[in-house]
């Protein structure tokens, strides 16, 4: 099923710098952990797809999210290993990078389908390299260059993802370059 058919909602806004990207990740972490005292009862875990050109901030976001979820020590990019996994308390966190895949079925052949069946946090950079074979994420985050900052678009494909969007406090620190809109859609 095409992700566009399952889109429940989206928001777009401008991220001035790396700190705004990290702040976004820090807001999402308690929602993934079901550890937000202001919103009890959210289910733990979730799947997030990260899109954007090289250097757009996908790995910066992933590292900040993993750190905010409680991962300690070095957080490596999975660009070469394809997968880095972590465990915090009773929750598994998986960070995958499909950039190097040349065939959409490679992620299945590598055994990654099993990770999507488990309760945990799954972050996938370059999900488009899997073609249409990945199930829709709870949340898709697209980061695009916009002057010295980034235009972020967050799209929910599940009720869980939509609940995360509803709880976000958007950055107020900057404004987009002329011609770019930072309004919610």
Domain of 147?
Answer: 3-167
CB atoms < 10 A from the CB of 8, how many?
Answer: 16
Domain-located, residue 173: no
Domain-located, residue 185: no
The token pair that represents 175 in the structure block: 């404004």
Does the structure show a pLDDT above 80 at 54? yes
Domain-located, residue 176: no
18-44 pLDDT, tens digit each = 999 999 999 999 999 887 666 666 778
Domain-located, residue 99: yes
E-assigned strands of the chain? Answer: 9-15, 46-51, 83-88, 91-97, 121-125, 139-146, 149-156
Domain-located, residue 175: no
Domain-located, residue 179: no
147-175 pLDDT, tens digit each = 999 999 999 999 999 999 999 887 665 55
CA dist., res. 84 & res. 88, Å (int): 13
Domain-located, residue 183: no
Kindly report the CATH number assigned to the domain that includes residue 62.
Answer: 3.40.50.300
pLDDT of 81 reads 63
How many structural domains comprise the chain? 1
CA dist., res. 48 & res. 185, Å (int): 19
Domain-located, residue 54: yes
Cβ burial of 167 (10 Å; 0-12, 13-18, 19+) is: middle
- CB under 8 Å to 80, separation ≥6 — which residues? 100
């Amino acid at each position: 099923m095409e992700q566009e058919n399952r889109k429940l909602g989206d928001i777009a806004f401008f991220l001035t710098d790396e700190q705004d990207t990290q702040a976004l990740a820090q807001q999402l972490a308690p929602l993934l952990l079901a550890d937000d005292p202001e919103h009890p009862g959210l289910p733990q875990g979730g799947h997030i797809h990260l899109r954007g050109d090289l250097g757009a901030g996908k790995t910066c976001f992933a590292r900040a999210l993993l750190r905010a979820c409680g991962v300690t020590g070095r957080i490596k990019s999975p660009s070469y290993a394809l997968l880095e996994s972590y465990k915090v308390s009773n929750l598994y966190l998986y960070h995958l990078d499909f950039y190097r895949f040349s065939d959409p079925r490679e992620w299945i052949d590598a055994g990654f389908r099993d990770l999507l069946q488990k309760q945990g946090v799954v972050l996938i950079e370059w999900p488009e390299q899997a073609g249409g074979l990945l199930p829709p994420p709870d949340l898709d985050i697209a980061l695009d260059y916009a002057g010295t900052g980034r235009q972020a678009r967050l799209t929910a494909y599940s009720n869980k993802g939509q609940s995360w969007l509803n709880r976000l406090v958007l950055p107020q620190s900057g404004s987009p370059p002329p011609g770019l809109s930072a309004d919610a859609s």
